[in-house]
Amino acid sequence: MPDLIEDDPRIIEFDVRTDEMLVNMGPQHPSTHGVLRLVLRTDGEIVSETEPHIGYLHRCAEKIGENLTPRQWIPYTDRLDYLAAMNMNLGWALTVEKLMRHEVGEKARHLRVLIAELNRISSHLVGMGAYGLDLGTFSPFLYAFRERERILDLFEEACGARLTYSYITVGGATADLPPGWLQRCEAFLDQFEPIIKEYHALLTTNAIFVKRTAGIGVLSRAMAIDYGCSGPVLRGSGVDQDLRRDGESLYTGMYDGYAFEVAVQKEGRYPRDHSYPTVPSEAVLGDCWHRFFVRMLEVVQSMDLVRQAIDRYAACPEPLPEPLKLFEKLPVGDAYLETEAPKGQMGFYVVGNGTSIPWRVRARSSSFSNLSVTHELCRGCLIADVPAIVGSLDIVMGEIDR
């Protein structure tokens, strides 16, 4: 049979072939999580190509960091992943401490675990709520925000800010926790724990939710590693990696003595025997459902860690150390440290040249790598799946564009 010629009038198939359409999804689209722009090439509802365009939120944060002292740059790290500003503060503070070979005391260590894990909960709550929004259900978003508000209240008490905290800083934290804070934090956790069941009922086990996420956007283990994905995206694909356990000793030392299990997804299994819902039979390892479920598991895990940290922090008698001076001189040399932020590995690089202002500052964000898999995942999916897939990656544009 000869090759088909496209303008052969006998072949009716070519006559009814539909045109491809190029659609701009964003940067003002309601479900691209900020100012992401996705260029979709679609044939009807079927997406053949997705190309993310970034840069709408670029603020030269890294360059600014080369003109400020490390402590002055802390507020800029707030604006990287603005949903987990504490974790950003922590990553930068630890990197600079690594360069300066400075060690904070026990009390500051436990305080940092406490605050960072609490922020992880609030970040995952937003991720969960916004994911529901992407799938067309509005209420879980507000439920998540209701709980997040209480975490923000706690943070506000500790540092005065509700979103950009600048709390954890080089050499410790800006202030100690106010009296009674630990009790209020525990009260929140006690109230929050049973509510997670509601989220599972509304989203995780909801039949429509499972239909929309299970088996959609399957990211294979190999692909996840190839693209440098990290955090829940990586663990949702079944890679057993969590920097809190596998990272540099400087970072893992922070979690010394803490008991937690990495929320890695396995085929149809999950880490601990708990009251978690069972994995639906349609779900495939590495799909949107598993990425979502990892976050839900990590919320529980972080709650556990916060409880442990509260006990340890309360048991430390010494006062919280004063943070380093604003214009502390940096030694000559460089340091790179990756920490496990809620969205994935957050790496900071700093080069000191003997002055108090670093010569080079760089950040490596997890969302950037995680976003890069969209064109692989969205190939051949429907338009409705694009928000479902991008939402499951849980990206934050502030971190990608820096």
Residues in contact with another protein by CB under 8 A are 21, 23, 29-31, 44-45, 132-139, 142-143, 146, 202-203, 206, 208-209, 211-212, 382-387
H or E segment to which residue 71 belongs = helix 70-78
Query: Residue 402: CB partners within 8 Å, gap ≥ 6?
Result: 58, 59, 61, 62, 80, 363, 365
Whole-number minimum distance, CB 23 to another protein, in Å?
5
In the bound state with another protein, the residue whose beta carbon lies nearer, of 29 and 184, is 29
Whole-number minimum distance, CB 202 to another protein, in Å?
7
DSSP 275-337: SPPPPPTT--TTSHHHHHHHHHHHHHHHHHHHHHHHHHHHH--SPPPPPPPTTPPPPSEEEEE
In the bound state with another protein, the residue whose beta carbon lies nearer, of 97 and 394, is 394
Q: What is the dihedral of CA 286, 240, 131, 384, to 10 degrees?
A: -20
In the bound state with another protein, the residue whose beta carbon lies nearer, of 89 and 122, is 122
In the bound state with another protein, the residue whose beta carbon lies nearer, of 110 and 295, is 295
Whole-number minimum distance, CB 31 to another protein, in Å?
4
Distance in angstroms (rounded) separating the CA atoms of residues 308 and 304: 6
- Cα first-last separation, the chain: 56
In the bound state with another protein, the residue whose beta carbon lies nearer, of 28 and 355, is 28
Q: Which residues are registered as beta bridge partners of 336? A: 349
- Residue from 125, 50, 78 nearest 402 by CA: 78
Whole-number minimum distance, CB 198 to another protein, in Å?
11
Cβ contact 170:178 at 8 Å: no
395: its two tokens: 């990206």
In the bound state with another protein, the residue whose beta carbon lies nearer, of 140 and 352, is 140
Whole-number minimum distance, CB 173 to another protein, in Å?
32
Whole-number minimum distance, CB 384 to another protein, in Å?
5
DSSP 30-67: TTSTTT-EEEEEEETTEEEEEEEE--TT---HHHHHTT
In the bound state with another protein, the residue whose beta carbon lies nearer, of 73 and 209, is 209
In the bound state with another protein, the residue whose beta carbon lies nearer, of 50 and 166, is 50
Task: Kindly tell me the sign of the dihedral angle through the C-alpha atoms of 244, 246, 251, 254.
Answer: positive
In the bound state with another protein, the residue whose beta carbon lies nearer, of 210 and 306, is 210
Whole-number minimum distance, CB 302 to another protein, in Å?
23
Length of the chain: 402
228: its two tokens: 């440098």
Whole-number minimum distance, CB 211 to another protein, in Å?
6
Whole-number minimum distance, CB 278 to another protein, in Å?
19
34 burial level (CB within 10 Å; 0-12, 13-18, 19+): middle
Whole-number minimum distance, CB 137 to another protein, in Å?
4
Distance in angstroms (rounded) separating the CA atoms of residues 182 and 258: 18
Cβ contact 364:350 at 8 Å: no
In the bound state with another protein, the residue whose beta carbon lies nearer, of 203 and 229, is 203
Q: What is the DSSP letter of 255?
A: G
Query: Residue 324: CB partners within 8 Å, gap ≥ 6?
Result: 71, 100, 102, 169, 170, 171
